[in-house]
Amino acid sequence: MTPSSPHLTHRDAGAEPQVCTIVPPYLLRRLARLEDPPLLDAAGAARHALDHLERIHAQRRGLRSSVTPPVTRTGLSRTISDAEHGETLPGTPVRTEGTPAVDDAAVNEAYDGLGHTWDFYADAYGRRSLDGNDLPLDATVHFGQQYDNAFWNGERMVFGDGDGEVFVSFTSALTVIAHELTHGVTQYSANLVYQGQSGALNESVSDVFGVLTEQWVRGQDAASADWLVGAGIFGPRIHGTALRSLAAPGTAFDDPALGKDPQPAHLDGYVDTAEDSGGVHLNSGIPNHAFYLAAVALGGHAWERAGQIWYDTITSDRLPASADFARFAQETLDVATDRYGADGEEVRAVTDAWAGVGVTPSKTARAADPPTGG
């Protein structure tokens, strides 16, 4: 496999910094309304997570992201810090690159997850860290009291511990870690606007490469993988397997507390909403399922051909930051043709995959709504 040349800088240095969370606001809002006594703590934790999300968006509005000047870096460099249940970042450094495991599972899981994600991008696509230039990977664990989320804040990974009832762990799921770090890859490559369809594509890209990282670590092929994002983060009383399913969007959970997974798998089910930056965590199910269909049709290791096409797409200078589903679909077809030839099975698989979710490829991107944060 010939690796693509990674982008080394932020595509749009004037973009508004985004805070991207693994648990979508619509789930937190539902939990916040719970009145069932066994879940009152979870309801309070969800309300706090929503309040915190509003505060950090308010703090970041009006800020402009900046390009880090090129520096000489060498390989993987991780620093894990402990917030000690406070909400001041970065916290106290507790494990750095090359040091042995500590007596804290969350620290070690975060350390390992960052390393697996770095190794995956380097091995599969020749990309050295999130920016392609050995950007150090930083993370903070034990953020807040019973904090019901994990997020990428434009600079680092941040993990809460969950409320202990609905959410019990965020560092234990490699798909969560790789998903959030991939927001950093997108930040330094496609820089997809976090609103509407381009925002849903931003979330979908993180889901896609989150599951591919896990499949790469496990050596799984497309047919044997579970295609789940966030498996293992729910408590035992929750009726659900994960936050999202690429194989079957809308089936990841069905629980009295959480409701039924609302993700659509087809454009016919597209959700028009002003919430969650235009439904970025909902409508991501549509391009998610398109990737799954392409990967299964091609077979073998999904990160190789299907993943390569998606990676080429997000690192292509032709993809606009405001790309909608149709424009993104067209770019996947164009890069598949460039890499594998117009008559190859890769182009047929990608064509059929987008048709399977109701998206017609188009060279013209619909203008994105202005970003509101998410």
Catalytic, out of 165, 180, 304, 346: 180
Residue of 183, 203, 216, 220 whose CA lies nearest to 115: 216
281 is catalytic: yes
7 is catalytic: no
Peptide bond into 90 cis (omega under 30): yes
Catalytic, out of 142, 179, 281, 289: 281
Catalytic (active-site) positions: 180, 281
